[in-house]
Amino acid sequence: MARSIITGIESRLMLLISLTVLASLFLPPLVHNALTDKTPPIVAFIRAEAINSPIYAGESLTVRITRKKVRDDCPVVSDRQAISEDGVIFSLPPASHRGGPADETIVDFAYPTFSSMPPGKYVLRVHLEYTCPGIDIPFAYEQPITPFRIKDKT
């Protein structure tokens, strides 16, 4: 009788140890996931407009971006392209930055152009990826397309 009681206690103890090991493996990621802020940094892009177009090739294009941003703790990387009316794609230098404050709905941002870009009509396309703390997958956005012109130097 005593032996069966001891065996019962041992098996319950082994079950408790097994459950403790399983909980220590699975519980921390679940708690971390539950406590991580998964709010996207940008709720909506409203518009983007060139405020200094037309420009000369090689000058920076200043774009006024209107958006609803709710987080400012997510650094952003941007890939930019200027596409001519003939369909020629100019890959502009990418940039990494803090992303700006969440309470500002309007921001002005300067995009460099190349001196080799011929005069004409263009559109600026900007792909943004925000990386927020604790989240492995970045939030990706396409900024509204911005038309602009490069003028002839003559």
Q: What is the pLDDT of residues 32-87, one digit of tens each?
A: 455 567 899 999 999 999 999 999 999 999 999 999 999 989 999 999 999 999 99
The encoded tokens of residue 93 equal: 């230098």
Whether 1 and 48 share a structural domain? no
Whether 61 and 104 share a structural domain? yes
Whether 59 and 120 share a structural domain? yes
CB 33, CB 22: distance < 8 Å: no
Query: What DSSP state is assigned to residue 72?
Result: -
Rounded CA gap, 16 and 24, in Å? 12
Whether 99 and 30 share a structural domain? no
Backbone angles phi, psi at 65, to 5 degrees: -110, 125
pTM (predicted TM-score): 0.74
Domain count, the chain: 2
Whether 12 and 78 share a structural domain? no
Q: Domain of 26? A: 1-35
Whether 11 and 61 share a structural domain? no
Whether 110 and 47 share a structural domain? yes
Query: What DSSP state is assigned to residue 87?
Result: -
Q: What is the pLDDT of residues 86-143, one digit of tens each?
A: 999 999 999 888 777 888 999 999 999 999 999 999 999 999 999 999 888 899 999 9
Whether 20 and 51 share a structural domain? no
Whether 135 and 103 share a structural domain? yes
